[in-house]
């Protein structure tokens, strides 16, 4: 298993080694990254079904645009973790800063601690599971995918939401424009059960969550709704 120590190896070499894993003839499937010490852009643009263990905290955009890889950060993550992820899994053992999973299109992002503001902003198909709380303006303009929060959500959850589904177990400080609580139907309980299982969470039940989604009143501009914007 290749072990890449960022204390002695440039970031470029790390990411190139991870990119090379997708090329024919490269058989390494497990990587370990030591001493990230808050480095930005760790393990970005990986496009292979490899497993990457990052031993420490990372800076901005860890796992950005990930495809297929399973990345685990044994520490906390800076802004934009797993931004625009396509597929694969990113797990953050600690907390995540702003914009976690921004514009993500697929795959699963698990944050075992808390996530800061704008978690899941503009998400486009990604699934995000946060064990702790999330900050304000989370799921802003979220288009598609699922955001699951075991703790509380901050102000303006789901502002200008499109078709993403939000499941919050704790309190929601306030809902954003056009975001409303919705009935939890059997298909939602089933979906949530699957997401929790995928995230390795066994100590809470889907029935403990409230579902939030778009009221769809702002989908086509109407001047009489101008106060809502």
Partner 1 sequence: MSQNNHPTTPRKSSTFDDYTLSEIRRAAATGIYDIRGGGTKRKVPHFDDLLFLGASMSRYPLEGYREKCSTEVVLGTRFAKKPITLKIPITIAGMSFGSLSGPAKEALGRGATLAGTSTTTGDGGMTEEERGHSETLVYQYLPSRYGMNPRDLRRADAIEIVIGQGAKPGGGGMLLGQKISDRVAEMRTLPKGIDQRSACRHPDWTGPDDLEIKILELREITGWEKPIYIKIGGARPYYDTALAVKAGADVVVLDGMQGGTAATQEVFIEHVGMPTLACIRPAVQALQDLGMHRKVQLIVSGGIRNGADVAKALALGADAVSIGTAALVALGDNDPKWEAEYQALGTTAGSYDDWHEGRDPAGITTQDPELMKRVDPALAGRRLANYLKVMTLEAQTIARACGKSHVHNLEPEDLVALTIEASAMAGVPLAGTSWIPGKTGF
State the residues that interact with partner 1 by CB under 8 A.
11-12, 15-16, 19, 40-41, 44-45, 47, 59-61, 64-65, 67, 79-80, 83-84, 86, 98-99, 102-103, 105, 118, 121-122, 124-125, 140-141, 143-144, 160, 162-163, 219-221, 223
Q: From the CB of 126, what's the least distance to partner 1, in Å?
A: 11
Q: From the CB of 75, what's the least distance to partner 1, in Å?
A: 18
Q: From the CB of 144, what's the least distance to partner 1, in Å?
A: 5
The nearer residue to partner 1, 31 or 99, going by C-beta atoms, is 99
Going by DSSP bridges, is the β-strand pair 165-168/210-214 parallel, antiparallel, or unpaired? antiparallel
Q: From the CB of 208, what's the least distance to partner 1, in Å?
A: 29
The nearer residue to partner 1, 56 or 145, going by C-beta atoms, is 145
The DSSP code sequence of 88-155 is SEEEESS-B-TTTTTT--SSEEEESS-B-TTTTTT-EEEEEEESS-B-TTTTTT--EEEEEESS-B-T
| Beta pairing partners, 108 | 89, 127
The nearer residue to partner 1, 47 or 175, going by C-beta atoms, is 47
The nearer residue to partner 1, 124 or 131, going by C-beta atoms, is 124
| Beta pairing partners, 64 | none
Going by DSSP bridges, is the β-strand pair 210-214/179-182 parallel, antiparallel, or unpaired? antiparallel
Cβ-in-10-Å burial (0-12, 13-18, 19+) of 103 comes to buried
Distances in whole angstroms, Cα of residue 174 to Cα of each of 79, 113, 168, 179: 23, 21, 12, 10
Distances in whole angstroms, Cα of residue 122 to Cα of each of 64, 101, 222: 15, 9, 22
Q: From the CB of 219, what's the least distance to partner 1, in Å?
A: 4
The nearer residue to partner 1, 56 or 78, going by C-beta atoms, is 78
The nearer residue to partner 1, 90 or 150, going by C-beta atoms, is 90
Q: From the CB of 40, what's the least distance to partner 1, in Å?
A: 5
Rounded Cα distance, 32 and 17, in Å: 12
């Amino acid at each position: 298993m290749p072990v890449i120590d960022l204390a002695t190896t440039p970031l470029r070499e790390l990411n190139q080694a991870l990119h090379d894993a997708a090329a024919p003839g490269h058989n390494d499937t497990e990587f370990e990254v030591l001493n990230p010490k808050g480095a930005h852009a760790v393990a970005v643009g990986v496009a292979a079904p490899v497993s990457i263990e990052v031993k420490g905290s990372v800076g901005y955009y860890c796992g950005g645009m990930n495809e297929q890889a399973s990345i685990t950060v044994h520490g906390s993550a800076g802004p934009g973790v797993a931004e625009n992820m396509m597929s694969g899994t990113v797990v953050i053992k600690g907390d995540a800063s702003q914009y976690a999973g921004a514009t993500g299109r697929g795959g699963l992002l698990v944050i075992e601690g808390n996530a800061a503001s704008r978690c899941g902003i503009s998400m486009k198909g990604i699934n995000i599971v946060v064990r702790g709380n999330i900050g304000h303006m989370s799921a802003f303009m979220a288009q598609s995918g699922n955001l699951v929060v075991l703790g509380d959500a901050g102000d303006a959850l789901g502002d200008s939401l499109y078709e993403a589904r939000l499941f919050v177990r704790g309190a929601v400080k306030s809902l954003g424009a056009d975001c409303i609580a919705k009935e939890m139907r059997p298909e939602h309980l089933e979906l949530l059960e699957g997401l929790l299982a995928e995230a390795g969470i066994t100590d809470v039940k889907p029935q403990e969550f409230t579902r939030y989604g778009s009221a769809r009143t702002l989908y086509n501009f109407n001047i009489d709704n101008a106060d809502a914007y």
